[in-house]
Each structure stands twice: as C-alpha cells, then as structure tokens.
Structure 1
Amino acid sequence: MAFVTQSCSRKKDTFVSRNFHALGTKYNILYNGDIALQRGIDGVNDAFTENFWELLPVERMEISEDIFLPGQSKNADFERAEEKAIKAVQKHGMNINGREKNPQIDEAYLLLGKARYYDQRFVPALAAFNNILNKYPTSDKINQVKIWREKTNMRLNNDEVAIKKLKRLLEEEEGNIEGQDLADASAALAQAYINTKSKDSALAQLAVAAENTKIKREKARYHFIRGQLYNEFKKKDSANIEFDAIIDMHRQIPRAFYINAHLEKSYNHDALDGDDIEFQEYLTELEENRENRPFLDKIYYRIAEYHRNKASDSLAEAYYNKSLRKTTSDKHLRALSYETLGNMYFDRNIYKTAGAYYDSTMTAMVENSKPFRIIKKKRENLDDVIYYKGVAVTNDSILKMISLPKEEQLAIYSVYTEQLKQQALEEEKRKAEELEKRSSQTTISNNGIDAKNPRSGISQKGSPGEFASKSKSISPVGNNKSSFYFYNPTTVAYGKNEFLRIWGDRKLQDNWRLSNQRAGINNAVRKDVVTTNTTDDKRYDPETYLASLPTKQTEIDSIAKERNFAYYQLGIIYKEKFKELELSKSRFEDLLESNPEDRLILPSKYNLYKIYIELGLNTKAEAMKADIIANYPESRYAEILLNPESELTKDENSPEVIYTKLYKKFDNQEYQAVIAEAETQIKRLEGDDFLPKFEILKTSAKGRLYGFEEYKKGIDYIALTYPNTEEGRKAQDLLQNAIPALAKKEFVPDDKPKNFNVIYQFQKGSGEDIDTFIKTLDEEIEKKIKYFDLTTSKDVYDENTTFVVVHGLKSIQGASGFAQLLESDEKDKRGKPVKPKITKEYFAISSPNYTIIQRHKNLNAYLKLE
C-alpha cells in the first residue's frame, strides 16, 4: 500500500502518477461533472421559451436579471459541476516545476468555465477560460476555449472584442478548425454581428454554422434565423429556401421549428400572383394535421390573418376567436388576437366591444411597456366615446319618443311589451319542457327500478297511489303516534305535493311513469300562472313606459341639452383623438341642426371649418368661415380666421398663455382676480379642451378664499360636468379619497404638534400697511431672536382679512409669549427700556390648527377655545 501510494504521488512526474491521476480525473470527477453540467443545460433549455415573433438568439439561453451574492449559485446542477471541476484541479493537479503534468486539468478548467457561464456568472467564467489560454496553450481544446471566451465576452457586451478575436481565430486556424468547432465559432461570430447591427455579415456566418454542425436542432435554428434575416431584407425567395430546408428535416427537429417554418413561409405568400386555391388547401392541411394540434393557436391565427387580408371579416373573427380558445402560454399571440379583434370593432365604430377587447389585450402584455401604454391610452380614449355615445343614443331615443303622438307611443310600447311577454312564455315553456324531460327519465332507485329496464322492480301497472303506498315512511310532524303512512295527514299531504313536484298531474292509467302526458288541468294551471304573472307584472304594461316619459318642458330641455353636449364631445373626440373626420363632421352637423345652446354653436362651427379644410370641402369651409366672421366678429375664433399668422393669436391670446398668467396670480394669492378672470375665460372658451383647467383653478381659488364647502361644491361640479376629462377624473378621485379627510374640522390639542405659529390680523380698509409691518417684523426677529429659525409670510384668510404669520416656533408657550421674545435689554439715554417696535396684538396657534382654520374659515371657533 505504501509503495502504491508513493508511486501515485502528485509531486512525482512518473508514468504511473500521470496516468493514475489522469484516469481518476477523466472517468470519475469530470465524468460526474459533465453529467451535472448536461443536466443543468437541459434544465436551461426546458425553461427557455422560443419567441418566434422576434429574431431568435443564436444560443438558446435566457438571461436572468436576478442578482446573486458571491458564492451563490442559481442552479444546483451547475454548482455541482463547478465543485467537481474544482475538486479535479485540487485533488489531481500535478503542477511540477511550473508545468501541469495531468492532461485532464485543462478539461477541468473548461468544465469550470462552462458551469459558471451557464450559471450566468460571466466574469468568473472568463477568468477560467483565460486561465486555460495562459497555462495550457498547447491543449487540444484550445479552439473550444477561445470560442467560449468570446461567447462570454459577448454576454459582457464586449461584442467588438469578440468579433475581432473570432475573426482572427477563423483566419489563423483556416483548414485546422472544422466540424462542430467551426460551427460554434461561426455561430458565435454571427451573434456578435447581430448584436452590432451588422446583420448582413451574420448571414454568411450562419450559413457556415448550419453547414458544419451535426446537431439537427442547431441546424434548424441557424436556418430559421437566416430566414428571419432575409425577411427583414425583403428577400422572400431566399427566406423561403431557408424555411424549406427546415421543413425537409421534418421529424428530425423540434416540432415548433417545423410548424413556424411553415407559418413564416405562408406569410411570404404572394396574395396577388400566387395560387389562392392552392394556398387555402395548404393552410387547411396544416389545420387538419393531427400532429399540429399543439400549434393550432398559431395556425388559426394565420388563417384568420389570411381571411382578414381578403376582407372576409366574419371568417377572420371566427378564426381569431378559435385561436384564443386554443392559446396556452403564448401571451404575445393572445395579445395580437385581442388587439386585432379590438381594431376590427374599432374600425366598425363599435367602441364598447372594442374597449372590452383592448382590456383583454392589456392582460396579455408586459405592463408599462411601450405597446402596453399605447393600448392603454387608446382604451382610455374609448371611455369617453363610449360614455357620450351612450348618452346620445339614449337621449335621442327619449326625445324621438316624446315627439310622437300618444297613439304611436302606445303602439310602440304595446309591440315591445308583447315581445317581452312572448319571451317570458317561451322561457317558461322551455323550463317546463326541461322539467318534463327530467320527470320522464326519473327512476325510483330505492324501489329497484332499472332505468334501462323499466319492467324490473315495481310493477308499472296500477295507479299513482301505489307509488305513495310503497314509498318510505316520512317522519311525522304531528302528534299522531302511528307510524303507518296514511294515518298521518301531514305526511300524506307532503307526499302528494312531492309527487306533483316530481311527476306532475299524471292520469290514472297503466305505464304511467313512462307517459309523457300530464293531466290537462296541470298544464292549464301552469299556463294560467304564466298568463297571470305576465298580466300582473308592470313590465308587460305599456302604460308603465308611457308614464315614465318626461312631460315637463324643463326635463325635456335638460335631456336635449345633455344630448347636444354629448354630440359636441363626440365630435371633438372623433376629430382630435381618433382622426375620424367623417364621423366628427356628422356629429357637429347633427348638433347644429338640434337647436344647441349658444355656447356650443361657435366652437362647433370652427371645428367644422377645420374639418372641411382637411376633407377638401373648400366651398363649405369658406361658407363656414364667412359665417363665423360675420356673426361672431369679436370672438377668438374670428380673430384666428382673420389673422392666422398673428403672433397675438398664437401666443398672448391662447388658452395656455392665459392659464399660465392666471396661475401666477393664484400663487400670489390674488384669489378674487383669479375667480373673476377664470369665469370670463370659461364663458369665452366654451367647448375648448382647456376649459376644465380653468374650472379647477377657479374652484381652488374659491376654496382658498371661501373655505371647504365652496371647494367641495366646485369639485363636485367638475366631477359631474367633465366626467371623462383628466380634470374630471381627478375631481372624482378627490371626492372619494381626499374630501372625507379634508372635511374634519376638530382642533388638535396643543400638546401633540411640533410646530407653532404666531398670527397677526389685518382687516381690509384699516389703513395699516402690511408690507411695512412685515419688513419691521423681519428686522426685529433677525436682531432679537437668535435661537429660532423663524420665517414670516402673508396669507389671505378671506375677502376682508389677511394674516401675517410667523412660522418656526416649537411650543405653544413660546408662541404665546412671542412679544417677550421681541423685547430687548436696550435702554434710552435716560436709562429707561426701549419700547418694542412690534406691539400689535396676536394669537398663537399650532400648524395643524392653522391649516384647519384656513380650510374651514372657523377662526372665531378657535378664538373662543382660548
């Protein structure tokens, strides 16, 4: 044993030592490490989902964004492979006089690098590959190591370095590198070219890789990527050659490549010059092939696309829905189908259904991605059109009904209620037939009746009374002590009711269980019940609907006003958001024919003028322009039409500029001026998209000046008047979430807050100079109060009161004794203390309570607490 141990020492360069450690490394440690590595690679491949909608990566591997600490591994198999590689180096390395004598150690380092590469620890992997290149330059795996090093460089975004070194490898080893090594090098170089947007150069390298690899799965991948690249270059014939190469491999490759090659080839079909009948047969064959069942979602989608391109919308819609019913994990395909269906309904102006499809589209998309945001924006725009279209249709129907004579109204509602009755009778009949069917198939299992052999068990002759006599006894409810069924009237009555419920009113005859005939009286009773129900139900009485029609002129005017506003909003939405100019034109024209309010007439005419210009209806456009200038010469729109290039029109008189100036006044607490100017602009800009902004600015100014109740009233008005604008939605959110919290007006005890203020009141018309007071106050604070960081502000309380506020005091005691803080030890020439310059009365208040009095204008309530 001692001799063998000594002979196999790692420190002796003998034939026995070298081969002992080489064999142990190769057939034990590295063998198990390679198994673990392959198991990990298989797991990576299984976890990777091919996205045939985009250019495929050359290597099947998904990069994870998860961050791991040093020493942590993402995959236990790769961790085991790495451990085996390290063990091989540590236990069997024979570094003697600076040279490695174990020929398997370079294999161990290669295994180490691969394990780290697949575990996505690319920097340590690069170190392992560089170690081989530095220490084992004569290794028979040197070309593989160089390829793996450059693959790692690409993962580290060093694509230019990888291209340079891979090209050098292919040039220097030309004729020596071949087979799988040549395929791997060419494939890696192709990916580097793709990464650097040199896709034409990638084509040649992928051709070399496809030709030299012996792995069918890789060959199919390289051909597919070449086909995708040719499609990008609009070379359909060359692309089809690549897809045909994949199709020829058939069952030698994964079915996904085979099917997607067919589908990609089908997308290259020339709809104009190609044989349409042959192409339809081609798609039908793909659909009917049983082996293609796992891919029917994509096949149905392709057939749907074919029919849609042929303008066969009904067939296209049917196949899109078939694709959706088959779709499993392909979210991109599901999103495409939903979006296409949504677009189809959108193009037909069926916006409510389109909106539902867009909702489904977003569930299959990556949230906050660019496509997701586009669909979300489109869906939000649909909310407006769905709402206003519903208002317009409903109010149009009401107004049309009101305009008819009462006799016609009654006739229309009579037809409607008769339809409702008929539907109710048909529904009742359907339920009765279902019950009859269930009754005819019912078997009494407790008595041994066989549904397939009705003559088995109980005899079917006799009367229905035999059923009751042979039934099991039901627990008596009364006080009758006898257990015999017919001696207990309660159980007898219960049994009769149960019999009628299950069997109906059966005639006294043989084979009564199999009979589908019930006694006529039962059906008559059932019919009478339905008739009675439909007669008594007010839904079936035309007078109910007549009574619900508005009769007061104020109500009718309100409905017409709401309908007209909906018309106006639809016209704006169609024009600005959807670019549906014809629809927008019809809405505005309908509005102007419906005797609208004055505030809607001018903006509608101006929008019609713009639409006529875009549609090329120049005669109508000129007539509308002349109308606006003649009838509204002082309006902003007339100014724009007369001076379209005017800088005043574009800038100073635009809503944006006016709003900006008004907001500055708001910041300066000029609330009364803001309210007055906002009201002027609201009247002037009626119908403009900027109008809600002026409304909310006016409401904010009223809240600051008049308090919470005015603010709440204004927010409620905005939410109701502009429900489908951004401002309206914000107002609705404020009503639900912020207003309840702002409504609280209870004062906070002074022992809880950490910040306090001193308030000086100034009344309007008192003649006191507030700005001079503030200047003096600031000077005194800076000179006499050194240990507080105090600031002052001028805050409007209401129309008649302005506050000068000192901020920064930390206790109620310090705030209450603020006058003492302003006193100094200075004395005049006679030795008397200098009188303080600030002698005005004040009161102290905590910051939370100051917020409450400003919000609710309840200053008097707070002063009474003091």
Structure 2
Amino acid sequence: MQIKPSYFFIIILLYSCNSVINTLYDDTTARYNAYFIANEVISEIEKELIETAEYNYDSLINLTYEIDTNRVSGLKEKKDNSIQKLSILIQRHPDSKYVYPSYALIGKSRLLAMDIGQAITTLKYVNSKTNNATAQQMSLIYLMRAYTEKKDYSAALEVNEFLKKLSIEKDLAIEYYLNTHYLHKKTNNLTETLNTLFELEKIVKNRRLINKVFFAIGQIYLIQNEYDIAALYFQKCLKNNPTFDMEFNAKIFYSKSLFNSSSEDVNKYFGKLLKDKKNIDKLDRIYYEIGLFNIKREKYNNAINNFKLSVAENKSKRELLYNSFKNIADIYYDNLIEYKLSKLYYDSALANINRENKDYSLLKEKSDVLTDLVNNLDIIERNDSLIHLTSIPEDELLKIIEVNIENNEKKQREKRVKKESQNFLLSEPTIIDNNNKGSWYFNNPSMVSSGRNEFQRKWGNRELADNWRISSKISFTSINDNIEEVVQDSSDEESVEKENEMNAEDLMSSLPFSDEDKNKLNKETEKAFVAIGKIYVQKLDEKLKGINTFKIFIERFSNSEYYAEVIYQLYLIDEENEKYKNIILNNFKETIFYKLIVNPDFEVDEFREYNLLRNLYGVLYDKLKNEENNHVINKVDSLQKIYSKNPFFENINLLKSIALGKKGGNFSLQFELKKYLNSAKDRSTIDFASSLLNSAETVHDDFIFSGLPHFKNNKDDKYFFIIIKTENQTDNFSIKLENTLKELDKKIPIYSFRLNDTTYFDAISDNNLNSLKEIEEKFNLNLDTKEIKVNANFVVGEKNMNLIFKSKNFNEFVKFYNR
C-alpha cells in the first residue's frame, strides 16, 4: 500500500503545531505565573527602597534608589522567594523565551541583596549565553549597576559604552537611563549626567520622576553658573505640582538662580518665602540661604545677621547649624579678619559636626590655631592691665575697683532679672539688609502666651544664650541681641560671681605689686608675643601683623631670652633683613640663629642627623621588643658620645632605661624610669615614661609573692643604699639622708619607692660599693639611739634588691645582711 505524499505533509504539520502550542504554553505559563510573581517581589523591594530613600537636595539629587539592605524589611526572604520562583520556571519550562530573562532577574535579586559577586557572575552568564535581545539588555543594565555598586567604575562605563550601541527596548529605557545617571553621578561626570537627564526628559511620564529630572537639570546649570536656564527648570518643577518637600527645595534653588537679579527683587522673593505659612518650620533654611546670597554680594555683616537668625530658628538640624556657624566663622576669618570671633564660631561649628566628617580635621586644626592665638592675646591684655593697675595711686585704684565691683554686681542683677522674666515673643519674619533694617512686631497675646508655655514646657525657663560647646542644647536669640556677649562657659559665669564676692581690699591684694610678680607676668607676656608673631606668619599668612608683633616685642623686651629668636624671625621676613642679620652676627654668636645665618645648611645637617637618629630608634626599639637588652644598652652608650646634644636623643635614652629595667626586674625598671624622668625635657617622652612607670607600679602593687625569698652573695654591676621607712617616718629619714650626702659632698639623687601598703624606702645608687658603704656608715652615725632601733638600712646589690622588691620582704634580707 503506497502512502500519499500529502499524508506526510499533514503529519509534519500536526507535529509542528503541537511544538508551537507547547512553546506557547511554556511562554504563557512562565510569563503569567513564576516570572510575574518574581517580578512583583523585585518591584516590591525597589518600591520600599524608593519610599524610604532620604534625598539630599544640597548635592546632586538621586533619581533612583540607593541600594541599602538595612532599609528593606525581610529582604533575604524576598530575595530567596524571587530566586525560588524563577528557578522553578527555568526547570519546568526550559524552552520558554523567559528562561534567560529569569536568569537576569535572579542576577538583579542578588544585586538588590548586595550579593555583588554572585550577581555579576549570573549576569555575565546571561549575556554570554542568550540570543534573546530583552534578556541581553536586562543583564547588561543590571551588570552596569552591579559594577557601579562595586565601585568598579571603569567596568561599569565599559558596559555602558556597549549598551549605547544597542537600540534599548522601550520597556527598559527608563531603567537604563536611571542607572546610567546613577553611574555618571558617582563618577562626577556632569556633562554625561546632563545628557542622560535630557534623554529622561524626553521619555518620562511619571510626575514625581519628571520633577526630579527637572530639579536635577536645574542643579547642574546652577553649578555651571547658567542662572537663567537653571531658573527655567526649577520653574518647570514648581509648575508640575511637586511634593511639598520638592516644592520647598525647588523654591530655595530658584532663589540661587536669581544671582543676576537686583537686591530688591531677591529680597522681595525671600520675603514671600518667609511670610508663607507653609514654611513656618523652614525659616532656618530660608535665613541660611539669604546669608549665602549676601556672601555672594559681599555684604558680610548682612550675611552674619541672617546666619544668626538661621541659628535662632533652628530646632534640631545639626548639619544646618554646623553650616551656619562655619559660614560666620569663615567670614570673620577670611573677610573681616576678626580672629577672636572666628574662633568662637569655629568652636560652635565643631560642636555640631561628627568626627567622621571629612572636614572635621581641617576645621579642628584651624580652630586650634585660633584658640592658641586668642589665648596668647588674652595673656598679653590681662597681664598688661594688671601691671598698669599697680601704677595708679592707691586711692584712685580703690575707686576704680569699687566702681568695677558695682558694675559687675549690676550686670549680674540684670542677668538674673532677665533670666527670671524672659519672654519669647513670636515675631514677623524679616530679611536683614542694609537697605531694609527690618523690625519685630508683637503677635496677638494668645499666641505669645501659647508659644511661651509650650517653650517652657519643653525646655524650662532658660535664659537666651547661644550654644557654643554642647551640641544637644539649642540656641535662641533675637537679632537685636549681640550673640558674642553670651558666648561664655558656665565656668566663666562662676568665676565672675566669685570675683564679685571679693571686696576691694581683696582685689587690691591680688594685684602684682612686687617686682617678682611683675617679672613673672612679663615673662608670660614675652612668650605670648613670640607665639602670636609665629602664628600670624606661619599659620595665618598674616606677614605684616607678624612683623608688627615682633617689632613691638623688641621695643618692650630688649633683655628677653627670646630676643635673639625674634630678631632672627625679622631677619627672615622683614625688608630690613640686613639690619637684623648684623644684630645676630654681632651680639648673638653663641646661638643657633648665628649658626643658621653663617651656615644656611645647618638645619639641613641637623635634619639629616635627626632622621638618622629616628631610624636608629626604630632599629633599637625592635631589638628591645626581641629582649636584646644588652645590645640596646651598649649601642645607646656608644651613640651617647656623638649625639647626646641632639634633642631627639632623649627618646633613645629612654630605650636604654627600659632595657636596663627589663634586664634587672621591676625595681630596676622603676629606678631607671625615675632616674630618666629626673632629667627629661621632652613632653612626649616624659608622658610615655610616666605611663610606663605607673604601669610598673601597678604591677608591683598587684603582685603576690609566695614563700620566703632566698638571697645570695652576688657580684653586681650596680649597688644601692636603701633606707626603709614607715608612713610616719618618711620625711625624717629623707632629710637625714640629704644632710649625710651634703656632709660627704656627694651629689646623688634620692628616689622614693613604695614597698607595700605601709612600708616605703629611699634609694640611692652608685657603681662603687665602697662609696655606698661610706654613706651607710655616716648615715648611721647621724642617727640617735631611738632612731637606730626603729630604722633598717643597708647596702644591697641589684639582684638582691629586685628580689626584696618582688617579695615585699626586707626583713629576710636584713637577717641575711647581718649574718
């Protein structure tokens, strides 16, 4: 039987139809079941990230979300759920066109959970395997974002360059441009960021998103000083029914675009913002922007007044407080050159900034410089005033003091009255400007009463005072109050009160009438002048002020120990440098300043020596850690002959003291550290040695020795004469030992130690055993019969002394010593 060809055709057709139907079934089931559900879960994560996002309008605004795993509730479960659904789809419908898009969504799920490594691996797999255009574009868009989150910006930009060559599908276009904008914003590429915003402007229909696009474009044009175009985009945003937060910030940024407008128009615009009842909680920001605008117009006093108003209106915004205080400080520092006021406002700025902030170190350094300057200026002013008072006839001086006391008491009474009856009056917001002084108007009594009661309920009945050092306290002030007057610590107020309690005679007696007291104050003043001159020249770049300070110094203090140094400073910076050079060469040949002029490389040579010693210090420190104590001791002894006069050598000497102590024991360590501290001059090494000594003393106090010590007849390199004392005997025997050393004409330092809770001892050391025996004999001859009975003293070698110290038992050694 012969089968007709037409039957074969029908069989093939039926088979093909069945295959198409199966594929359609796979695609439909995949699309509307697992793929749809998984996509909804991912959308839910993205929605939560968008809704919880905090927008910082003062930097370029974000259009899309920042990935933050802490902001999504149940993120792990949601990620696992989406991946599970997509994995089921891939297993059950392997022929579906949604297989590779599902892989791409798995990559995105991992990306949203910040599992960046796995996300990149998955997305690369999709891109390398699929011919599906949708899946490929999805994987590349998510891969670009993954590289951006990883901060591998070169890889992200490479992916973006590839995507630019593709015709992005309509459904993916917005997501593509949002992630592209995110990448260019991270890399600070304003040109590409702006180009991406223009693309989004063409296709975005969502009102909230397009308003962000308008706002972002306006921000970039502001940065580029294209004020008119910036204004146009902020107006577009405002006309498109933005959220309240977006509306307020768009109005603020629109004000920034009015740079080319007249002051009258700008003040009019800000006036509307201030009077708008919707902005009642935003007055701090409005006044702040007015301040910034005045800085641009170089109206610095107006700017300061408006920044103060911003502070007064600020309830809890630390960043805005910080910026207000910092701007005031910068104006006083850079423009008005009022360093005392600048220092106060930098202190306030620092109180409202976290130490982690990138500007903290720079601001702290500037504040410290100004603190140093102000402290020294205050020293000069105070000391000169005190000395001047002593030159006034006594009867006149008494009257001046009495008037001063009376004025201080009056001020204190006024403060107390003000504190007890202080009212906070609600007022009409006004702009502070030279051409518009502004005024304060009383609102109706019910609002005054309500506001006062609410304030007192929350804050108590407190005085108007700016907060300068405590970040949690909020400042309230009126534009008519001088903020500088209340910039004081509570400790200052206490000192004023104590001063008021003193009568005129007490104050008179505290003045420096004696030459000794005047000389002491003048020494302080000399030092302050030198410090101020250096600060002006070296840290504030105020060369003329530095020169004037140094010249006042040499007129006033020609016999000062700092005179040669100041002359040398003038030689370096003044036009009459030859004059000052000759003074050094003729009168100060023994000073370092003479050497610096004669040999300009002197400091270079000294610097090389300093670096050499620093390197040697590092080597010796490592040896000390490795318990190579003898090597350290011998090396320091050899270096002593060459470098002992170098100030840094004090650090190396400390290593020797530690090595000697470690070699001998806790007593030896304490003895060597006390000996070192007796002659040390460098503050840092003194602090370090003191901390080591405190630690050694603590270890000794806490140590418990079991059993009895066993002493031996040792040969030691070092011996000690020890005098045991109780608490009641400490002074008597110490004085007798001092007298004994004087009688024998021996200049040996005495060091005191604590053996236990009730027993102390004095120790002196000498490498010559016979010398100590002589001291012992003479000391005992000077004791009376009663003292001999109660006192124990002996000469002991270093090894046995460390054992006495360790065991806290000198009686066993006395038995051994007397045998």
State which of 582, 603, 615 in structure 2 corresponds to 1:626.
Answer: 582
Does the 8 Å contact 1:592/1:604 carry over to 2?
yes
Q: Does 1:90 align with 2:88?
A: yes
State which of 102, 110, 113 in structure 2 corresponds to 1:116.
Answer: 110
Does the 8 Å contact 1:671/1:701 carry over to 2?
no
CA distance 1:182–1:567, shift in 2 (3 Å): same
Please name the residue that 1:307 is paired with: 294
Does the 8 Å contact 2:568/2:584 carry over to 1?
yes
Superposed CA deviations along residues 559-596 of structure 1, whole A, max 9, x for unmatched, are: 22122222222222332222233433343233223336
Q: Does 1:200 align with 2:191?
A: yes
CA distance 1:552–1:355, shift in 2 (3 Å): same
Alignment map for 1:628-777 (pairs within 5 Å): 628-642=584-598, 646-648=600-602, 650-652=604-606, 656=610, 668-670=635-637, 678=645, 707-713=672-678, 728=683, 731=686, 738-742=692-696, 761-762=716-717
DSSP-derived class of the 1:99 partner: coil
Please name the residue that 1:151 is paired with: 145
Please name the residue that 2:204 is paired with: 213
Does the 8 Å contact 1:186/1:208 carry over to 2?
yes
Q: CA deviation at 1:398?
A: 1.2
Please name the residue that 1:502 is paired with: none
Q: Does 1:45 align with 2:39?
A: no
Q: Does 1:125 align with 2:79?
A: no
Instruction: Report the more deviating stretch, 393-402 or 135-144.
Output: 135-144
Alignment map for 1:522-671 (pairs within 5 Å): 539=501, 541-595=503-557, 597-612=559-574, 618=575, 620-642=576-598, 646-648=600-602, 650-652=604-606, 656=610, 668-670=635-637
Please name the residue that 1:99 is paired with: 95
Does the 8 Å contact 2:643/2:649 carry over to 1?
no
CA distance 1:162–1:545, shift in 2 (3 Å): closer
CA distance 1:337–1:391, shift in 2 (3 Å): same
Q: Which amino acid aligns with 2:65?
A: R
Please name the residue that 1:282 is paired with: 269
DSSP-derived class of the 1:593 partner: helix
Distance 1:579 1:351 in 2: 13
Does the 8 Å contact 1:224/1:242 carry over to 2?
yes
CA distance 1:167–1:862, shift in 2 (3 Å): farther
Does the 8 Å contact 1:761/1:801 carry over to 2?
no
Does the 8 Å contact 2:82/2:109 carry over to 1?
no
Q: Which amino acid aligns with 2:507?
A: Y
Q: Which amino acid aligns with 1:567?
A: F
Q: CA deviation at 1:61?
A: 0.9
CA distance 1:171–1:330, shift in 2 (3 Å): farther
Alignment map for 1:288-299 (pairs within 5 Å): 288-293=275-280, 295-299=282-286
Highest Rg: 1 or 2? 1
Does the 8 Å contact 2:654/2:689 carry over to 1?
no
Distance 2:643 2:146 in 1: 69
CA distance 1:590–1:261, shift in 2 (3 Å): same
Q: CA deviation at 1:605?
A: 1.4
CA distance 1:675–1:285, shift in 2 (3 Å): farther
Does the 8 Å contact 2:147/2:155 carry over to 1?
yes
CA distance 1:544–1:575, shift in 2 (3 Å): same
Distance 1:192 1:415 in 2: 70
State which of 380, 384, 405 in structure 2 corresponds to 1:417.
Answer: 405
Q: CA deviation at 1:606?
A: 1.4
Please name the residue that 2:467 is paired with: none
Q: Which runs of 5+ in 2 are unaligned?
A: 1-16, 423-498, 621-631, 661-667, 720-763, 770-795, 807-812
CA distance 1:384–1:219, shift in 2 (3 Å): same
DSSP-derived class of the 2:66 partner: coil
Superposed CA deviations along residues 163-221 of structure 1, whole A, max 9, x for unmatched, are: 45544444442xxx465533333443444455566543443233112211222333333
Does the 8 Å contact 1:421/1:540 carry over to 2?
no
Q: CA deviation at 1:22?
A: 6.8
User: TM-score, structure 1 length as denominator?
Assistant: 0.60
Please name the residue that 2:174 is paired with: 183
CA distance 1:172–1:39, shift in 2 (3 Å): closer
Percent pairwise identity? 17
Distance 1:278 1:430 in 2: 39
Distance 1:366 1:160 in 2: 32
DSSP-derived class of the 1:551 partner: coil
Superposed CA deviations along residues 480-499 of structure 1, whole A, max 9, x for unmatched, are: xxxxxxxxxxxxxxxxxxxx
CA distance 1:729–1:356, shift in 2 (3 Å): farther
DSSP-derived class of the 2:556 partner: coil
Does the 8 Å contact 1:568/1:600 carry over to 2?
yes
Q: Does 1:375 align with 2:363?
A: yes
Distance 1:654 1:91 in 2: 73
Does the 8 Å contact 2:387/2:512 carry over to 1?
no
Please name the residue that 1:687 is paired with: none
Distance 2:303 2:804 in 1: 62
Distance 2:418 2:606 in 1: 71
CA distance 1:89–1:202, shift in 2 (3 Å): same
Distance 1:416 1:403 in 2: 17
Bigger relative CO (Cα 8 Å, ≥ 6 apart): 2
CA distance 1:422–1:356, shift in 2 (3 Å): closer
Superposition CA RMSD, Å: 5.1
Please name the residue that 2:322 is paired with: 335
Distance 1:318 1:862 in 2: 83
Distance 1:650 1:241 in 2: 61
Distance 1:110 1:545 in 2: 84
Distance 2:211 2:559 in 1: 69
Superposed CA deviations along residues 25-62 of structure 1, whole A, max 9, x for unmatched, are: 66666665455434422332244322334344553214
Superposed CA deviations along residues 296-348 of structure 1, whole A, max 9, x for unmatched, are: 44332211112334444443233323434555786544432232233344456
Distance 1:431 1:124 in 2: 64
DSSP-derived class of the 1:403 partner: coil
Q: CA deviation at 1:83?
A: 0.9
Superposed CA deviations along residues 601-639 of structure 1, whole A, max 9, x for unmatched, are: 110111123332xxxxx2x43333332233224533234
Instruction: Report the more deviating stretch, 631-640 or 403-412.
Output: 631-640
Aligned residues: 624
CA distance 1:556–1:171, shift in 2 (3 Å): closer
Q: Which runs of 5+ in 1 are unaligned?
A: 1-11, 67-72, 435-536, 613-617, 682-690, 719-726, 765-796, 803-841, 854-859
Does the 8 Å contact 2:37/2:85 carry over to 1?
no
Q: CA deviation at 1:670?
A: 4.0
Distance 2:419 2:254 in 1: 53
Does the 8 Å contact 1:74/1:119 carry over to 2?
no
